[in-house]
């Protein structure tokens, strides 16, 4: 799937999982949804030239090459529905106990969401290396400064990674057979939807947008502000 499709599906899943997310308060809820949306791009760190590898220049491109070498290439290890969430989740667990590594994780999620959704954001600052760095780190600092320690980050990582894998499962290239691909490289691709096809752009993307808005209204306090407005308009 395209980058913005992954991000939008992540935002929708993040909003849908709010009732079970280990977060409390509006700020933490916003952080959860943003993080899941951003981390839904994380598995593509295995591909040089992807949105995530280009986001912060060498700071993300160099790790991307390393991840590609360690995980067996694009759409293998990081796209394993068992190993991907597990390994990324363990790394995030280790990072969540330190303020600066937590800040890095959350900044990465925000930066990814900004890059993937640039087509609905005015201006181009989020598409530049410096602009994205400033916006994502400032956003992460503000969220962490006004919410409890983000021990929920590993869960957001796992949910985001699984969302990405589920999206790629629908495409022609598919995803690896969990764990068993290590013995014999094989993929699961039952639907064969072409990446960037009409169905993705005209059906899935609008569906993800509507689902995100609907779940945010249902699972946050936003509804108490929206309902009176709708009554007045009616």
**CA dist., res. 16 & res. 123, Å (int):** 29
Output phi, psi for 175, to 5 deg: -135, 160
> What tens digit of pLDDT does each residue of 91-115 get?
999 888 888 888 998 899 889 888 8
Q: Which two tokens stand for residue 221?
A: 């306090």
> What tens digit of pLDDT does each residue of 15-50 get?
999 999 988 888 888 889 988 998 999 999 998 888
Question: What is the residue range of 189's domain?
Answer: 3-233
* 8 A C-beta contact, residue 162 and residue 40: no
Q: State the average pLDDT over residues 160-183.
A: 94
Q: State how many domains the chain has.
A: 1
pTM of the model: 0.90
């Amino acid at each position: 799937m395209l980058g913005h499709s992954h991000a939008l599906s992540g935002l929708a899943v993040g909003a849908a999982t709010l009732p079970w997310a280990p977060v409390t308060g509006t700020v933490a809820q916003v952080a959860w949804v943003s993080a899941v949306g951003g981390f839904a791009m994380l598995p593509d760190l295995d591909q040089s030239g992807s949105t995530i590898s280009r986001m912060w220049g060498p700071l993300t491109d160099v790790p991307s090459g390393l991840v590609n070498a360690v995980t067996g290439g694009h759409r293998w290890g990081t796209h394993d529905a068992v190993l991907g969430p597990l390994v990324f989740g363990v790394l995030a667990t280790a990072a969540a106990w330190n303020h600066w590594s937590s800040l890095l994780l959350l900044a990465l999620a925000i930066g990814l969401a900004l890059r993937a959704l640039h087509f609905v954001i005015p201006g181009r600052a989020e598409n530049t290396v410096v602009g994205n760095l400033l916006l994502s780190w400032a956003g992460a600092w503000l969220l962490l400064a006004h919410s409890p320690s983000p021990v929920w980050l590993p869960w957001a990582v796992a949910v985001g990674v699984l969302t990405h894998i589920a999206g790629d499962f629908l495409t022609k290239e598919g995803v690896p057979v969990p764990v068993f691909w290590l013995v014999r490289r094989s993929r699961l691709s039952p639907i064969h939807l072409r990446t960037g096809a009409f169905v993705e752009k005209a059906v899935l993307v609008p569906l993800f947008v509507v689902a995100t808005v609907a779940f945010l209204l249902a699972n946050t306090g936003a509804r108490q502000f929206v309902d009176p407005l709708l009554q007045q308009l009616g």
